[in-house]
A and B are shown apart, each in its own frame.
Chain A
Amino acid sequence: MAEPATATQAAAPAVPQLKDELDIVIPTIRNLDFLEMWRPFFQPYHLIIVQDGDPSKTIKVPDGFDYELYNRNDINRILGPKASCISFKDSACRCFGYMVSKKKYIFTIDDDCFVAKDPSGKAINALEQHIKNLLSPSTPFFFNTLYDPFRDGADFVRGYPFSLREGVPTAVSHGLWLNIPDYDAPTQLVKPLERNTRFVDAVLTIPKGTLFPMCGMNLAFDRELIGPAMYFGLMGDGQPIGRYDDMWAGWCTKVICDHLGLGVKTGLPYIYHSKASNPFVNLRKEYKGIFWQEEIIPFFQQTVLPKDCTTVQKCYIELAKQVKEKLSKVDPYFDKLAEAMVTWIEAWDELNPTGSSVTNGKAK
């Protein structure tokens, strides 16, 4: 039975890698007690806390952490009318943190995720593994049967063309979860007691042309390479859908990564997910999404981005256009979403003026 590591078991690494180049973005509506457990791994890093819900409530941050905190009032103040693109009453608001960050890398984690243990009982430094994933290349053009060839003790197998062995830059590192798995509401209802106890010791690149469900609970990415694509959509209060924020960002991100020749990895690290949300509440939020995803997924699978989309922003604006053209017939919500996508890019470029016209990769 999977168990989380205790705070004392986690051992801080000798040299925290990328400590001045990485921000940890945490959305919260309750409290940040979980940070105590992560202290040995997180303390060297800067935190960006996005407080959802009632801005008059004070979120207590444990002592010793270097952080900036934004509540709804701050979001409104900083973005003005563009704040409409940031969700309210949904952890999707976290993407505001990506926008205001000034660092190259982002790691985002939910406040009900704790340190997991590997099969030997050792506490897993999830952040360290994410950094390893991001700093080593991805291999999206040909599948390596021994998984990530850049890991210790592994390599490219016989038959893997040498010309493809350099790999491409990794834009996203998608981690997994022990204990409460990231199931949708119907699956949760049918299997309320299922726990993920399987530790799969692998990292792999998701092949080009393949979409996947990206979970935002334990995620890291290179903000300079792919940041503007990480918009978590319109969810929560006043919206017809919830719990699809990370899914939406994942589909957009993967399409753009495939277009620009960037890599997405999935697998390690594991965190320990402690809280099972109410499946009935989830069902109400996800309900429309379950039907809509049947249309959305073919849409993303068939999307073609023109060659002149050479930056993430250009790709994203083009995607927004296609969403408006092809998905508004599914529901008027997608009209709103397409507009919010454009607003997001405008806000991103406003807050991040210098990086906006850098070509992030070669358009394929």
Chain B
Amino acid sequence: MRTPPCLLSLTLDSAVHNLSNITDLSPFPDHILIELFLRTLRAGKLTERVLKLFIATGKDEVFSLIQALNIQVTVTPVLPTSKLMSLSIKDDEIDIVIGALRPDLTSFMNEWRTIFSRFHLIIVKDPDLKEELKIPEGFNLDVYKKPDIDRVVGTSTSTIFSGYSCRYFGYLVSRKKYIISVDDDCYPAKDNKGILVDAVAQHITNLTTPATPFFFNTLYDPFTEGADFVRGYPFSLRSGVQCALSCGLWLNLADYDAPTQALKPEERNSRYVDAVLTVPARTLMPISGINIAFNREVIGPALLPSLRLGGEGKFRWETMEDIWSGMCVKVVCDHLGLGVKTGMPYVWRNDRGDAIASLRKEWEGVKLMEEVVPFFQSVRLSREATTTEDCVAEVANVVKEQLESKDPMFARAAKAMVDWVKLWKSVGSSTSSPGA
């Protein structure tokens, strides 16, 4: 005679039958829960809703079963904030601007070929460079040399583009939405897994996903795959703001100043930090010009050549122009509610130059920073400054008022900023859209 089913078994069968009415599985003891799960599976009744019920119990055994059976959940997020906004960026929205301070760009271009060849490049030759540029074939590019620069801005103005500042000419004449700019002594880096880093793609990702400057996310960029906003992050701040600037980093020769590198001549940066983060609002930082990208439409005029050290030279250790420009950009972004990100992508920066030799030239810049930093930390722009050009003009005014007496270099910088805004309006084209 067949043994009749036990009461528990009957109850479980009834539960499977009535799954649509069950909203909470937490009262179920573990072993019964597992048996219910298996019977649900066997009955073919494991829908997404039911699976979520089981997951919600938080029981390890349930998770183990789900993993072991490789059950996948396709979750349609209710809150889309975490989804990576992968807009399809058209290649023709991007210009890659390279300032050529050395004549032979062959190995540089070849190393970057697989990453750069899709895009249009603007190569600007340092007007002080005498030799002819050597550029390999196979790229879609425009090259600007001293005669071209003279023609566009006039011979007296073209001096502002000497040395590392030559790249700003490229920013000025570009008509694209996004600009990516890398020094000519940097090559593509490899990440921790040994894979070549596509710096362009990472910069574009940074610029096309929101920034979160108003509250710090401890898991860094919440818009990246596998991450999100952590507990305690206010929901009203989760849509973020537009990212205007993406600052990358450097492996091998890091962007140290001359005293630091001279003190540690063997030190090379080998730490690949797998993160992008938004620099909080009102927090200033040294923005290096070695590896950056920006939204030209939104912030173009704020990247400017203006502070030129008396002894400025052809090594980054002998300049402060990018640091000064970066301070302006950050202040403007903070005022306009735009974001600045830092972190990946990394580039590999080749050894070049002698820190000790540069010490003599850069100490002046080092001394300047003591004034520059507190100054920018105190700058407050007026409510009426709603466009990037207006903001830059205001900063220039404040520089003139407050720093002019400290060093004539600042007076020159202030004038250069005012001139730059004029130049941008006439040559840099069309409208710069008002800040977000």
Interface residues of B (CB under 8 A from A): 24, 26, 52, 55-58, 63, 73, 75, 77-79, 82, 192, 215-220, 226-236, 247, 249, 254-257, 260, 264, 267, 269-275, 279-288, 316-317, 320, 323, 326, 342, 366, 369-370, 372-373
Mark each residue of chain A from 265 to 282: 1 if its CB lies under 8 Å from any CB of chain B, else 0: 010000000011111110
Q: How far is the CA of A164 from the CA of B228 in the complex (A)?
A: 33
**A182 x B269 contact (CB < 8 A):** no
Q: Which of A144, A162, A215 meets B230, CB within 8 Å?
A: A215
Residue A190 interfacial (CB < 8 Å):
yes
**A294 x B228 contact (CB < 8 A):** no
Q: How far is the CA of A90 from the CA of B373 in the complex (A)?
A: 45
B257 proximity list for chain A (CB < 8 A): 156-160
**From residue A196, how far is it (CB to closest CB) to chain B in Å?**
7
A193 proximity list for chain B (CB < 8 A): 73
B79 proximity list for chain A (CB < 8 A): 186-187, 190
**B286 x A157 contact (CB < 8 A):** yes
**B256 x A278 contact (CB < 8 A):** no
**B226 x A194 contact (CB < 8 A):** yes
Residue A236 interfacial (CB < 8 Å):
no
Most A C-beta atoms less than 10 A away, residue of B228, B281, B288, B372: B228
Interface residues of A (CB under 8 A from B): 119, 142-147, 153-164, 174, 176, 181-184, 186-187, 189-202, 206-215, 243-244, 246-247, 250, 266, 275-281, 286, 290, 293-294, 297
A-side interface mostly: loop
- Given contacts A158-B317, A163-B370, A210 and B52 within 8 Å (CB-CB): no
**B235 x A290 contact (CB < 8 A):** yes
**B231 x A182 contact (CB < 8 A):** yes
**B219 x A181 contact (CB < 8 A):** yes
Most B C-beta atoms less than 10 A away, residue of A157, A206, A290, A297: A157
B366 proximity list for chain A (CB < 8 A): 162
Q: How far is the CA of A196 from the CA of B264 in the complex (A)?
A: 36
**B218 x A294 contact (CB < 8 A):** no
**B282 x A294 contact (CB < 8 A):** no
**B55 x A192 contact (CB < 8 A):** yes
For A186, give the chain B residue with the smallest CB separation.
Answer: B79
**A209 x B275 contact (CB < 8 A):** no
**From residue B168, how far is it (CB to closest CB) to chain A in Å?**
18
A212 proximity list for chain B (CB < 8 A): 215-218
**B73 x A158 contact (CB < 8 A):** no
Tally the A-B contacts, defined by beta carbons under 8 Å: 202
A206 proximity list for chain B (CB < 8 A): 216
Q: How far is the CA of A201 from the CA of B271 in the complex (A)?
A: 8
**From residue B176, how far is it (CB to closest CB) to chain A in Å?**
26
For B247, give the chain A residue with the smallest CB separation.
Answer: A145
B-side interface mostly: loop
Q: Which of A145, A181, A183 meets B249, CB within 8 Å?
A: A145
With A154-B269, A201-B274 known, 12 other A-B pairs at CB within 8 A are A145-B285, A145-B288, A155-B264, A158-B317, A159-B369, A182-B218, A183-B229, A187-B82, A187-B228, A191-B75, A202-B275, A213-B215
**A162 x B370 contact (CB < 8 A):** yes
A-B contact pairs, 11 of them (CB 8 A): A143-B284, A153-B270, A156-B260, A184-B231, A196-B227, A202-B271, A212-B215, A215-B218, A247-B232, A266-B218, A278-B57
A155 proximity list for chain B (CB < 8 A): 254, 256, 260, 264, 267
Q: How far is the CA of A201 from the CA of B192 in the complex (A)?
A: 11
Most A C-beta atoms less than 10 A away, residue of B215, B231, B234, B269: B231
B24 proximity list for chain A (CB < 8 A): 280
**A158 x B316 contact (CB < 8 A):** yes
**B234 x A293 contact (CB < 8 A):** yes
- Given contacts A146-B269, A211-B216, A266-B218, A160 and B369 within 8 Å (CB-CB): yes
**From residue B263, how far is it (CB to closest CB) to chain A in Å?**
9
**B231 x A278 contact (CB < 8 A):** no
Q: How far is the CA of A43 from the CA of B76 in the complex (A)?
A: 46
**A142 x B284 contact (CB < 8 A):** yes
Q: How far is the CA of A212 from the CA of B230 in the complex (A)?
A: 10
Q: How far is the CA of A146 from the CA of B248 in the complex (A)?
A: 10
Q: How far is the CA of A357 from the CA of B253 in the complex (A)?
A: 48
**A199 x B226 contact (CB < 8 A):** no
B26 proximity list for chain A (CB < 8 A): 278, 280-281
- 10 closest A-B pairs by CB: A159-B286, A213-B232, A143-B285, A159-B323, A212-B216, A207-B283, A210-B280, A278-B58, A158-B257, A184-B231
Q: Which of A160, A197, A207, A293 meets B226, CB within 8 Å?
A: A197
Q: How far is the CA of A192 from the CA of B52 in the complex (A)?
A: 9
Q: How far is the CA of A187 from the CA of B244 in the complex (A)?
A: 27
B283 proximity list for chain A (CB < 8 A): 142-143, 207-210
**B275 x A297 contact (CB < 8 A):** no
- Given contacts A155-B267, A192-B52, A200-B275, A176 and B249 within 8 Å (CB-CB): no
**From residue B12, how far is it (CB to closest CB) to chain A in Å?**
22
Q: Which of A153, A244, A278, A293 meets B271, CB within 8 Å?
A: A153
**B82 x A191 contact (CB < 8 A):** yes
**A199 x B232 contact (CB < 8 A):** no
Q: How far is the CA of A157 from the CA of B284 in the complex (A)?
A: 13
**A154 x B316 contact (CB < 8 A):** no
**A164 x B226 contact (CB < 8 A):** no
A243 proximity list for chain B (CB < 8 A): 231
**B234 x A297 contact (CB < 8 A):** yes
**B215 x A201 contact (CB < 8 A):** no
**A277 x B58 contact (CB < 8 A):** yes
Q: How far is the CA of A107 from the CA of B387 in the complex (A)?
A: 48
B279 proximity list for chain A (CB < 8 A): 143
Q: How far is the CA of A293 from the CA of B63 in the complex (A)?
A: 32
**B230 x A182 contact (CB < 8 A):** yes
A147 proximity list for chain B (CB < 8 A): 273
Q: Which of A186, A190, A279, A297 meets B56, CB within 8 Å?
A: A279
Q: How far is the CA of A159 from the CA of B324 in the complex (A)?
A: 9
Q: How far is the CA of A294 from the CA of B237 in the complex (A)?
A: 9
Q: Which of B55, B231, B235, B342 meets A183, CB within 8 Å?
A: B231
- Given contacts A155-B260, A198-B274, A213-B231, A207 and B267 within 8 Å (CB-CB): no
Q: How far is the CA of A199 from the CA of B226 in the complex (A)?
A: 12
**A158 x B373 contact (CB < 8 A):** no
Q: How far is the CA of A142 from the CA of B374 in the complex (A)?
A: 10
Q: How far is the CA of A155 from the CA of B219 in the complex (A)?
A: 23
Q: How far is the CA of A276 from the CA of B57 in the complex (A)?
A: 10
**From residue B365, how far is it (CB to closest CB) to chain A in Å?**
8
For B59, give the chain A residue with the smallest CB separation.
Answer: A278
**From residue B248, how far is it (CB to closest CB) to chain A in Å?**
9
**From residue B249, how far is it (CB to closest CB) to chain A in Å?**
7
Q: How far is the CA of A154 from the CA of B271 in the complex (A)?
A: 8
Q: How far is the CA of A321 from the CA of B269 in the complex (A)?
A: 48
**From residue B278, how far is it (CB to closest CB) to chain A in Å?**
10
B75 proximity list for chain A (CB < 8 A): 190-192
